Amino acid sequence: MEALVRIEQALDMAVAYAEAPGAPPQLAQAMRYSVFPGGARIRPRLCLAVAHACGDDAPDLSNAAAAAIELFHCASLVHDDLPCFDDAELRRGRPSVHRAFGEPLAVLAGDALIVLAFETLARAGACAPQRLAGLTLTLARSVGMPSGIIAGQAWESEPRVSVSDYQRAKTGSLFVAATAAGALAAGADPAPWRALGDRLGEAYQVADDIGDAVAAEEDNGKPVGRDIALGRPSAVVQLGLAGAMERLRDLVKGAVASIPDCQGSDELKALVMSESTRLVPKQLSDRVAA
């Protein structure tokens, strides 16, 4: 089955548990609204691609891991959009969750999505108990303290922050977890896969900085130049547009080179190259693959 179909089905099954009879209806709606329709599902696709390259001998578990990663990502978007953080009106081109459902339900939707992610993993992990603890710990560390995406968001409240620590936690950690979890779900050693996640996470961050700086609002669904307006660290500010594009190319090459030898490594290398062109606005994408 195609990866994106597996991901959407796994997410739908997960959210359906939260919508069971007896659920408070508005929170159930807010959770589905937070997850569907999705963005590029880039993290869960990375997870499944690594699982596939490692043999994917427990597809229910890799589906659950991929879904959990996307649920964490969706939860972080809902909470990052709250009035006390970005106060974002729009997300993926329509009202953010707190604008659509109110702030209380946005807080609770984020909370419930975090819980649902762990629950989804445990449900699939009951059939592969030897892999569950490792998967849960890998994902928990990529999300929580001291260095997951929540820690990354917390650095925005600190007077001093190292840009690389901030970005590694805020964006990189979930990419690293996606590759490590893909390997773990397939019973493989996660260690050699972390470099791929690390480089792709940084590539994604640089591409996002490029997109933020140059794309038109209708192209990426959020106000242009927001990171720069908010004084956030940006590769474009640091390196200029041409420098940022060169950095992105180097990161993608490094990511491809880091892929360990395994049965599906050639396929995965081709996938990373083709996907990386989609990270930046269309008018720039030919410059990434060059």
List interacting residues with a second copy (CB under 8 A).
17-28, 31, 75, 79, 82, 84-85, 102-105, 107-108, 110-112, 114-116, 118-119, 121-123, 125-126, 129-130, 132-134, 136-137, 140-141, 143-148, 150-151, 153-158, 161, 165
Q: For residues 136 and 234, which CB has a smaller minimum distance to a second copy in the complex?
A: 136
CB of 288 to a second copy, least distance (A): 31
- The least CB distance from residue 70 to a second copy, in Å, is 16
Query: What's the N-to-C CA distance of the chain in angstroms?
Result: 31
Is 227 within 8 Å of 234 (Cβ atoms)? yes
Contacts of 201 (CB under 8 A, 6+ apart): 168, 171, 172, 173, 174, 175, 176
Whichever of 154 and 241 has its CB closer to a second copy, that residue is 154
Cα dihedral 215, 83, 41, 47 sign: positive
> Measured from the CB atom, is 105 or 236 closer to a second copy?
105
Q: Which residues of 199-223 are buried (b: 16+ CB within 10 A; e: fewer)?
A: bbbbbbbbbbbbbbbbbeeeebebe
Amino acid residing at 163: V
Query: Is there a cis peptide before residue 37, judged by omega within 30 degrees of 0?
Result: yes
Q: Which is nearer to a second copy, 122 or 195 (CB)?
A: 122
Pair 180, 143: CB distance under 8 Å: no
d(CA 63, CA 127): 13
Residue 175 vs 213, nearer CB to a second copy: 175
Between 136 and 205, name the residue whose CB sits nearer to a second copy: 136
| Tokens of residue 264, six digits | 């599906």
Q: Does residue 46 contact residue 198 with C-beta atoms inside 8 Å?
A: no
- In the bound complex, what is the minimum distance in angstroms from residue 140's beta carbon to a second copy? 4
Nearest CA-CA partner of 186 in 56, 6, 44, 47: 56
Q: How far is the CB of 19 from a second copy (least distance, A)?
A: 7
The amino acid at 38: G
What is the closest distance, in whole angstroms, from the C-beta atom of residue 39 to a second copy in the complex? 20
**Closer residue to a second copy in complex, CB, 157/231:** 157
Minimal distance, residue 97 CB to a second copy, in Å: 13
- Tell me the closest approach of the beta carbon of residue 220 to a second copy, in angstroms: 24
